[in-house]
Each structure stands twice: as C-alpha cells, then as structure tokens.
Structure 1
C-alpha cells in the first residue's frame, strides 16, 4: 500500500508529460507551409531578389 500512491502519481505524471510531448511534436510537424518570397526589389538594381544570368 505504501508504494501504490507514489506509483499512481508517477504514472499520471508520466502520462501527462507523454501527452504534452506528443501534442507538441504534432504541432511542430504540422507547421509545414512555405514562406512567401519577397520580390519587392528592383530587378535592375538588386542582386538579392533576382537570379542574375548575365545580359541576354
């Protein structure tokens, strides 16, 4: 009887922590959208927003 209460408390804490980890991993894995690309730069004066292949 002395070990029943600590064992039950440990089992409940383990179950709660396991559920938190599972829900956290699921939430982190579901964030799979691509970010929008910033194309607001001027292509004639910017090398950061456009790929430069040289003059054609």
Structure 2
C-alpha cells in the first residue's frame, strides 16, 4: 500500500498546478483598462456630451 501517499501527493500537486494555471490565465486575459471618452461632441448643442435633438 505504498502507492497511496504517492497518488495523494500527485493529486495534490495537480490540483495546485491547475489552480495556478486557471488564476494565471484569468489574470492574463482580463481587460482592466479604462475606455477612452469620446469628447468630439459640440459643447454648444450637448448636455453632458449627449446631443439634444429638438425641444423637449
């Protein structure tokens, strides 16, 4: 029964390696950049950069 500790150590090592890979890939593909703000609107015809169409 000497294969039980080896199997348990292998399973533990695989679980740890799998967790490292999952967290590493998740951190690598994560998009955490701030989007650029479109400031091309006409300031005279917009309210908070949203153009108002017609009278309300």
- Which residue in 2 is equivalent to 1:13? 15
Unpaired runs of at least 5, structure 1: 51-56
Unpaired runs of at least 5, structure 2: 51-56
Q: Structure 1, residues 10-47: CA drift from partner, whole Å, max 9, x if none? A: 1011101101111110111xx36663545686533322
Moved more, 1-10 or 17-26: 1-10
Pick the structure with more strand per residue. Answer: 2
Q: What are the residue-to-residue correspondences of 1:1-56 with 2, within 5 Å?
A: 1=2, 2-28=4-30, 31=31, 35=35, 37-38=37-38, 43-49=43-49
Task: Please tell me the root mean square deviation across aligned C-alpha atoms, in Å.
Answer: 2.6
- Which residue in 2 is equivalent to 1:53? none
TM-score, structure 1 as length reference: 0.56
Pick the structure with more helix per residue. Answer: 2
